[in-house]
Amino acid sequence: MRKLALFIATSLDGYIAKPNDDLSFLKLVEKEGEDYGYAAFTANIDTIILGRKTYDYVLKEIGAAHYDNGQRDVYVITRTEKPSAGRTSFYTGALTELLGRLKAEPGKNIYCDGGAEVINELLQHDLIDELTISVIPVLLGSGTRLFKDGRPEQQLQLVSAKSFDTGLTQLHYKRMRPEA
C-alpha cells in the first residue's frame, strides 16, 4: 500500500517558520550540491497534498511550475471550491476520505508538503506513515510549530538518523502500527 510521507525541516525547538512565514533559517544549512536526500525522496512519490496557504506561498515565492509541472497529482486542501488546473485539484472534502482513496490506489508514495494545519489534521487521524525531519541547529524562539497540542499519542520506529557537516541532523521514522 502507498505510504503518506512527511519531509520537512524544523529548528531544534520545533518551528517550521519564524513569524510571518520567514524561512530564512534554512539558509544556515544551505550547501552547494547538498540536497539532504530531497531528490531521492521525491523520486519515490507521484502525488502531493498540501494546504492552500502553503500552495499560495509557493506560487508567490517560487512559481506555479513547482507543483503544476504535469509530473505529479497535486491536491490542494482548501475550503473554497475551485476548478482543477492540469493535474492540480482543489479538495474541499474530508482528509480521511481523500487519503483512504489515494492509499488504496496503485502508485508511488504520497508527499505531504505542509503546512502545519494539514500536517496536524493528518496526524490527528493517524494518516502519516513516514516522517523525515531535518533538524536545523538553531533555536528560533517563536514561529509556526510543526506539532500542535492535542493530538493522539503515536509510537514510532526510528529508521535512520544522519548528521551532516552543516550541523543538520535528519531523523527518519516510520509509524509503528499494530499488525493487521
The three-point CA angle 105-107-109 to 5° equals 105
Of residues 133-172, those binding a copy of itself (CB under 8 A): 133, 135, 137-142, 145-147, 149-158, 160-163, 167-169, 171
Tell me how far, at minimum, the Cβ of 28 lies from a copy of itself, in Å. Answer: 7
Exactly one of 48, 95, 112, 123 binds a copy of itself (CB under 8 A); that residue is: 123
Tell whether residue 3 is a contact of a copy of itself (CB under 8 A): no
User: What is the residue type of 125?
Assistant: H
Between 14 and 37, CB nearer to a copy of itself: 14
Q: How far apart are CA 173 and CA 100, in angstroms?
A: 21
Listed in sequence order, the residues at least 6 apart from 110 whose beta carbon sits closer than 8 Å to its beta carbon are: 2, 3, 4, 5, 45, 47, 48, 49, 99, 102, 103
Between 58 and 133, CB nearer to a copy of itself: 133
Tell whether residue 98 is a contact of a copy of itself (CB under 8 A): no
Tell me how far, at minimum, the Cβ of 147 lies from a copy of itself, in Å. Answer: 4
Q: How far apart are CA 57 and CA 173, in angstroms?
A: 27
Tell me how far, at minimum, the Cβ of 69 lies from a copy of itself, in Å. Answer: 32
Map residue 19 onto helix, strand or coil: coil
Q: Read off the C-alpha cell for 176.
A: 509503528
Which residues sit at the interface with a copy of itself, rule CB under 8 A? 12-14, 18, 28, 123, 131, 133, 135, 137-142, 145-147, 149-158, 160-163, 167-169, 171, 173
